Amino acid sequence: MIRKRKGLPVILHLTGWIILFILPQFLISGGLFKDERTTRIVLFNTLVFVILFYTNYLWLVPKLAQKGRWLAFLVLAASLIVFLGWASGKFYENLFAPPREVREQIAQTEQRPPRDDHGRRRGGGIALYNFFITSFLVSGFAVGIRYAESAVRKEEEIKELEREKLNSELALLKNQVSPHFFFNTLNNIYALIEINREDAREAVLSLSKMMRYMLYESEQGNTRLSHEIEFMKGYIDLMKLRLSDRVRLTVSFPEEYEDQDLPPLLFIPFIENAFKHGVSNMGNSFIDIALRAEDGEITFLTANSISRPGAEAPRPASGIGLDNVRKRLSLLYPGRHELRISDQESIFTVVLTIRT
């Protein structure tokens, strides 16, 4: 779920009003709290534009503009500006009006008093023009911020949905790997029973350890490379129990490497595939398995002979295991992995490189 930080936007809004609006007005007026009139002007202007901004930001834009009701939005936004302009005019009229004693004296003498507004009234048209320009800018700013926030929120929701979809797909794929792995392993143990019952009992014990790993550690989402290597070693030892002297098995895992997180059971389908297609009962065969982890890359390799002369190598997209691992790689390492599967004469080779 997307967590919203409620305190930060309030602080940002307050800081924005102080820096972008209140402070410049005080500076233009000749200093902070120069006199009571200046303070009243600054506070009133701020109040007017706060009302204008948040009426657009909180109500007009989300309720009208973002729902396609642009005509109603424009009419109400313009009406709000006109009303606030009228209210501002009344405020300034009262602010700069002569004192009551002077007004009474004017009424008695019917004489016009000398102007003490330093030319402010003569600039009334300019002030009105500035008000409307500022009002349109504030309204546009409110619209822009609201749409920008909506775009960011929508992008976050899309990313969250993509993460949930990714996790669901990965969980489904991992759930496919486990039954497939156990099915093949149990078949191997069943075949081993006919050959050597003592080895079969040892195989069952090894399988129980692997089941514990798959049920508990791999359920955490990620595992450590060191744990995955130990799991692969256990599986290879299990498969070695049924190999004859005609099969040459070479395994190379690094003694020292930088341990890191990675998805569980990522390499097992390739090892299963090598044992399935690389063991021949008719002649000599071989299986090579190697892993290297250095410089931010993990390189995994399997190479095996094709079990029967003239037999076709297993197709890269065939079988649950290989097809599954391709999908997992595309989801987990998009643009950060390279999977090369080749069949040269009687050798089937898989090279997987992952940039972590």
Q: Where are the domains of the chain?
A: 7-158, 196-355
Of the given ranges (15-29, 188-202, 237-251, 286-300), which has the lowest mean pLDDT?
15-29
More confident residue, 304 or 31: 304
Q: Give yes or no for residue 178 having a pLDDT over 90.
A: no
Dig out the tokens for 280 from the structure: 């021949």
Please report the pLDDT score of residue 193 as a whole number. 78
Q: What is the 3-state secondary structure (H, E, C) of the chain?
A: CCCCCCHHHHHHHHHHHHHHHHHHHHHHCCCCCCCHHHHHHHHHHHHHHHHHHHHHHHHHHHHCHHHCCHHHHHHHHHHHHHHHHHHHHHHHHHHCCCCHHHHHHHHHHCCCCCCCCCCCHHHHHHHHHHHHHHHHHHHHHHHHHHHHHHHHHHHHHHHHHHHHHHHHHHHHHHHHHHHHHHHHHHHHHHHHHHHCHHHHHHHHHHHHHHHHHHHHHHHHCCEEHHHHHHHHHHHHHHHHCCCCCCEEEEEECCCCCCCCEECCCCCHHHHHHHHHHHCCCCCCEEEEEEEEEECCEEEEEEEEECCCCCCCCCCCCCCHHHHHHHHHHHHHCCCCEEEEEEEECCEEEEEEEEEC
pLDDT, residue 182, reads 72
Q: Please report the pLDDT score of residue 3 as a whole number.
A: 47
Q: Look at residue 118 and tell me whether its pLDDT is greater than 50.
A: no
Range among 2-16, 146-160, 189-203, 269-283 with highest mean pLDDT value: 146-160
146 is written with which tokens? 């609201």
Confidence of residue 180 (pLDDT cuts 50, 70, 90): low
d(CA 26, CA 261): 57
Q: What confidence score (pLDDT) does residue 15 get?
A: 77
**What confidence tier does 315 reach under pLDDT thresholds 50, 70, 90?**
very low
Q: What percentage of the chain exceeds 90 in pLDDT?
A: 24
Most confident of 8-17, 44-53, 276-285: 44-53
Mean pLDDT of the chain: 78
The alpha-carbon radius of gyration of the chain (Å, integer) is: 38
- pLDDT score for 177: 57
Residue 71: exposed, middle, or buried by beta-carbon count in 10 A (0-12, 13-18, 19+)? exposed
CB 192 within 8 A of CB 203: yes
Per-residue pLDDT band for 80 (boundaries 50, 70, 90) equals very high
Q: Check pLDDT > 50 for residue 212.
A: yes
Lowest mean pLDDT among 162-171, 183-192, 282-291, 332-341: 162-171
Given a cut of 80, is residue 197 above it in pLDDT? no
* Alpha carbons 166 and 266: distance in angstroms, whole number: 16
Which is more confident, 109 or 246? 246
Instruction: Please tell me the least confidently modeled range out of 191-195, 327-331, 344-348.
Output: 191-195
Q: Which CATH class is domain 196-355?
A: alpha beta
Task: Please state, in angstroms and rounded to a whole number, the distance separating the CA atoms of residues 228 and 265.
Answer: 7
Q: Are 248 and 301 in contact (CB under 8 A)?
A: no
Question: What confidence tier does 59 reach under pLDDT thresholds 50, 70, 90?
Answer: very high
More confident: 205 or 52: 52
How confident is the model at residue 52, as a pLDDT? 92
What pLDDT is attached to residue 124? 52
Average pLDDT over residues 141-155: 90
Candidates 347, 267, 249, 251; CA nearest to 307 is 347
